[in-house]
Chains A and B, each alone.
Chain A
């Protein structure tokens, strides 16, 4: 499906490229969008540091979430006592999440 997506969509671009007019006369046309002004400064330097903690947290809690699937999908075949370690794991993660959310909520330090 992925491959078909590529195979089906690449021709669309190629056809568009063939059909559409191409005029390279105006260098201003190819400037990046800057609201009508001549671009100043580097376009790629912006770095929203304020929300960096969220992406950091994502890396860690994504792991947690999918670990939960390993447990959840097998839960019907497990004894009830097997839930306890997962709850312990979750409790630890909640602690970490509380701290992380508090830190990420303090925008001024990022």
Chain B
């Protein structure tokens, strides 16, 4: 059963990843990106990491995708559908992709992890919480600093400063 689910997830994930990049409309691209992210969450479920999976759903799909959608909607309609690319670059890109995929795939397939399976029980999600505040706690503090820095910086970036001479003065 897991294999069927795995295959379905693979198709969804990779297909929607390609769609995210190739669909003409950026909105559909964003939706496809959500599909990719959701597919990854499905993989996390298969990997017995429900906490990460739900975190992925809540954070990636629930908030990052919303932010991306919102920004995409900001963009003018004609730009959403606009697509500038030349053929040569595209073929080069496909070549690069093939090289990466085949090369890395060959490396992975050649190496010893091909045979690795496990029967051990999965990690309890509470261990993650424990790790957070015991072993990794300086990283948690730094994480806080990252979030703080990014939100303050992003706000300062996004705000307008030319508003005083705008039409709002009546």
Which residues of chain A have a CB within 8 Å of any CB of chain B?
Answer: 42, 44-45, 47, 49, 52-53, 55-64, 66-67, 69-75, 77-78, 82-83, 85-86, 88-90, 92-93, 95-96, 99-100, 103-104, 108-110
Contact = CB atoms under 8 A, between A and B. Distances in A.
A72 B132 CA distance: 11
A61 B59 CA distance: 10
28 contacts: A45-B76, A49-B160, A55-B70, A56-B154, A58-B66, A59-B64, A59-B66, A63-B59, A63-B63, A64-B147, A67-B132, A71-B129, A71-B133, A72-B129, A74-B128, A75-B129, A77-B130, A82-B133, A82-B137, A83-B133, A85-B140, A85-B141, A86-B133, A88-B140, A90-B144, A92-B145, A108-B163, A109-B161
B49 to A, nearest CB: 12
A96 B160 contact: no
B45 to A, nearest CB: 14
A78 B70 contact: no
- By secondary structure, the A interface counts as helix
B77 interface: yes
A66 B58 contact: yes
Given A44-B73, A52-B158, 20 more contacts: A55-B70, A57-B151, A60-B150, A61-B147, A66-B58, A70-B51, A70-B128, A70-B129, A71-B132, A71-B133, A72-B129, A74-B129, A78-B129, A82-B134, A85-B137, A85-B141, A89-B141, A96-B151, A103-B159, A108-B168
A89 B105 CA distance: 40
Contacts of B64: 59
Contacts of A77: 126, 130
Contacts of A82: 130, 133-134, 137
